[in-house]
Structure 1
């Protein structure tokens, strides 16, 4: 497996090793020991996933930016098994030197890449293909009381969503989410 880090500490882009032959391909999409090694952790310190999620969305759907505050935070290991998405992680750790900065990767069924979005980050994605299936493992259970959203187009974040001529299709909660300043004022960030 190939592991790439970003200028922001925490998120990691993982490209699995594909074993291909005339029948198709095989790869390990999850291996606790390999994942711990990729994060520089002892095997026993690898994140434990409690929930798997699967979403299917049409082109132009923008989901996010979502996160969960303590006591039920979520780290997410995200992959796209059909189509392609622009996947984003925003640093919401108030003491971090990269607070409010973001990283992104195009995840697709063709590149098989996965983005690790640790707790302390908001996560969202834009569907680039006609349809996309996104699967992600979550390290914590969904908890409505801990769930928050951050405004996807906050000018302070300046995320370079590849919208081109698309108008994003948003859920009501995402369209009306607070911006970064409002999240900070409400205490809805990670200390």
Structure 2
């Protein structure tokens, strides 16, 4: 009978997230992950044949967790402005619930060696990004964004603004204040309020 695995993939990825959040992507090495969980190096190589595969999985698992919650928040609301405000709030709420992962997202995929990823990992990343971009484009249209500037305003309100709030505190090493979700929602509502609502928005995105 085969011995049960002592260290599963998620344990190893959790360790890699802790290392990246504390000291950046360069700290995520095969030996460092093994040491972090008290595993032999062979346990890491058994699941990740190369360091670039480990880095890809760390980045993708984190981004996909964020994207899934973000998309679910948008899709759960028929009213476009409510969806936009809830999306901004979700950025902060997810970051509060996952502070290490949020710190990891201060970096970019290129910092996690995207140029050396396998085609499978690249395609997986691109699929997730396309889903988010499509959802934002649909929501921006429902909000009445009818040109590049209006679309940029919508994306700024629903993505860049709440992310900047999160990043300012994370980079300073401070916890997110209790009012962060409310502040993100209020600012997003103010920016979206200048967009003319498209007719028959309710239910149009479903």
TM-score normalised over the length of structure 2 = 0.27
From the two aligned structures, give the one with the greater helix fraction: 2
Pick the structure with greater CA Rg.
Answer: 2
From the two aligned structures, give the one with the greater strand fraction: 1
TM-score normalised over the length of structure 1 = 0.28
